């Protein structure tokens, strides 16, 4: 109630109010608010458990806990449950607005960093490596992946990234491109009918090398953050949909004479 009257004087709008955790989850799904203000005491469960459920449904959610207590234990449990900010009652309007503004800006700033420094580095390494390893020249096109999902027809190599920021890269291409690419890497005639297992292994190995170079380059530039790779996983078939609801993703397309080769880079928002 108090929060609602405080917000009435600002540009923030209250789109829904919930009395219970079950209602909160249901309303969150319907309204997808920019920020949720959460009480610790709810009739059906507590604010941390309710946040955990909302975070499970949308890991991009921004939850602000407003409670009478604010101790280290609450903050630790709250962070693990996906709560982004903690305010202690009584709160004043300025404090509330400042916190809301910070929560709403986070995403935009991180996006700019990825777009301006990480993604172009990945793109440059992809282009250079295709030339160096396979002798293939390419034109690069970068797009922000708004809907967050990609459809793969052919082969995808998934390589996880740990450190700061966490994420993953997915290299993918069609089956014919995969075979032609393997032939190019192995120095064979382009029309050679490459064995599928061997072609997959070649793409996997090359992707691992390219991702390794890209990560090292970024580690060199940004000294206080170290990213490392997990072993590659290979996925192949037709119409495979990758969805990354919890990531900010960018699609780097290398247009080559043997077909398009994609490197999709995804970064976790936090934690």
Residue 170 in contact with other proteins, rule: CB under 8 A: yes
Residue located via tokens 């920021």: 165
Burial class (CB in 10 A: 0-12, 13-18, 19+), 11: exposed
Return the DSSP state at 82: T
Q: Least separation, in Å, of the C-beta of 186 and other proteins?
A: 18
Output 246 or 260, the one with its CB closest to other proteins: 246
Q: Which listed range, 94-102, 136-144, 242-250, 251-259, lies at the site for other proteins (CB under 8 A)?
A: 242-250
The least CB distance from residue 247 to other proteins, in Å, is: 6
- One of 16, 56, 104, 113 touching other proteins (CB under 8 A): 56
Neighbours of 207 (CB within 10 A): 26
User: Long-range CB contacts (< 8 A, 24+ apart) of 84-91?
Assistant: 84/270, 91/2, 91/3, 91/6, 91/66
Q: Is residue 245 close enough to count as binding other proteins by CB under 8 A?
A: yes
Of 244, 252, 253, 265, the residue at the interface with other proteins (CB under 8 A) is 244
User: According to the binding rule CB under 8 A, does residue 168 interact with other proteins?
Assistant: yes
**204, 232 Cβ separation under 8 angstroms:** yes
266 binds other proteins (CB under 8 A): yes
Judged by CB under 8 A, the stretch of 86-94, 107-115, 152-160, 183-191 that binds other proteins is 152-160
Scanning the structure block, which residue is given the tokens 């982004």? 84
Choice between 105 and 243, CB closer to other proteins: 243
Residue 9 or 239 having the CB closest to other proteins = 239
And the tokens for 211? 């991702």
* 3-class DSSP assignment, residue 187: coil
- Bridging pattern class, strands 247-256 and 139-144: antiparallel
Restricting to residues 220-239, name those near other proteins by CB under 8 A. 228-231, 233-239
Cβ closest to other proteins, residue 55 vs residue 138: 55
| CA 114 from centre of chain | 11
Q: How far is the CB of 5 from other proteins (least distance, A)?
A: 29
Distances (CA, A) of 29 to 40, 63, 108, 171, 267: 20, 14, 22, 32, 24
78: contact with other proteins by CB under 8 A: no
CB of 61 to other proteins, least distance (A): 10
Residues that bind other proteins (CB under 8 A): 21-22, 25-26, 29, 53, 55-59, 156, 158-163, 166-168, 170, 200, 228-231, 233-247, 266, 268
């Amino acid at each position: 109630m108090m929060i609602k009257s405080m917000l009435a004087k600002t540009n923030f709008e209250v789109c829904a109010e919930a009395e219970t955790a079950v209602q909160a989850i249901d309303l969150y799904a319907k309204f997808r608010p920019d920020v949720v203000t959460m009480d610790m005491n709810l009739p059906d469960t507590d604010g941390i458990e309710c946040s955990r459920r909302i975070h499970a449904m949308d890991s991009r959610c921004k939850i602000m806990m407003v409670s009478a207590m604010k101790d280290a234990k609450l903050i630790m449990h709250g962070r693990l449950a996906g709560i982004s900010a903690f305010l202690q009652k009584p709160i004043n309007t300025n404090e509330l607005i400042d916190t809301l503004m910070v929560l709403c800006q986070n995403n935009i700033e991180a996006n700019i960093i990825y777009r301006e420094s990480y993604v172009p580095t990945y793109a440059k390494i992809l282009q250079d490596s295709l030339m160096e390893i396979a002798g293939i020249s390419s034109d690069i096109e970068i797009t922000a992946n708004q809907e967050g999902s990609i459809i793969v027809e052919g082969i995808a190599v998934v390589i996880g990234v740990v450190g700061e920021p966490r994420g993953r890269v997915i290299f993918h291409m069609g089956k014919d491109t995969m075979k032609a690419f393997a032939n190019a890497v192995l120095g064979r005639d382009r029309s050679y009918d490459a064995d599928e297992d061997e072609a997959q292994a070649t793409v996997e190995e090359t992707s691992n090398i390219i991702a390794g170079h890209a990560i090292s380059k970024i580690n060199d530039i940004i000294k206080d953050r170290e990213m490392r790779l997990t072993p590659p996983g290979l996925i192949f078939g037709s119409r495979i949909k990758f969805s990354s609801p919890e990531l900010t993703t960018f699609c780097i397309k290398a247009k080559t004479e043997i077909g398009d080769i994609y490197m999709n880079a995804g970064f976790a928002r936090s934690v």
